[in-house]
Each structure stands twice: as structure tokens, then as C-alpha cells.
Amino acid sequence: GPMTRDVEDAATLLDVIAKPDPRDTTSVGPREPVRLDKSERLDGVRLGLPRQFMAEGIDPDVKAVVEENLRKAIELGAAVVDVDLPHAEYALAAYYLIAPA
């Protein structure tokens, strides 16, 4: 997926690319644009981190950016919890089954 330097850039990019695709049965309809308030706290927000994607093989620069943004989220009050995605290895195959259905 897209990688950005910060959350603001990610929100801008999401607003540009998050449009429904009439040829993709898994896409969803229109949504409200992302609005960011830089003074907004993240108290009560829980971020799930699949640690298996942070293991050996991840680009060190990507890992550093993820860790820095997690640190910033924690400073703003978010809680980071480890999540396990035991079936992630099947995601692409499942998509290929669902998409043409």
C-alpha cells in the first residue's frame, strides 16, 4: 500500500485515492473526507500492531518510520496493542476468490 512520511500526508492521499471502483466488488461507497486537528489527542484510541510484519525482512527505513509514528501516537494518548493476524498469509488468495465473484 501507499507509504507516506506522516499522518497528514497519508490523510491527503487517502482522500485522493479512496473512491469506489465499480469493477471491484470489494470496494465501498463514498465517505467523509479525513479531517485532522493537530492539537487533537488520541486518548481512548487503540492501534493494533501486527508484530509479524515488523520482523526480519522489513526495510529498516520503513520500520523506523512506523516506530516513530507509533511513538508519536502514544505521546498523544493512544494505546498500542499487539495483534495477531494468523490468516494473513491467505489474504491475497482470498481476495482473488472474492473479487471476481
The confidence score (pLDDT) of residue 93 equals: 92
The confidence score (pLDDT) of residue 28 equals: 78
The confidence score (pLDDT) of residue 81 equals: 95
The confidence score (pLDDT) of residue 22 equals: 80
The confidence score (pLDDT) of residue 83 equals: 93
The confidence score (pLDDT) of residue 48 equals: 92
List of the chain residues with pLDDT < 50? none
Task: Report CA torsion sign: 5, 7, 12, 14.
Answer: positive
The confidence score (pLDDT) of residue 13 equals: 85
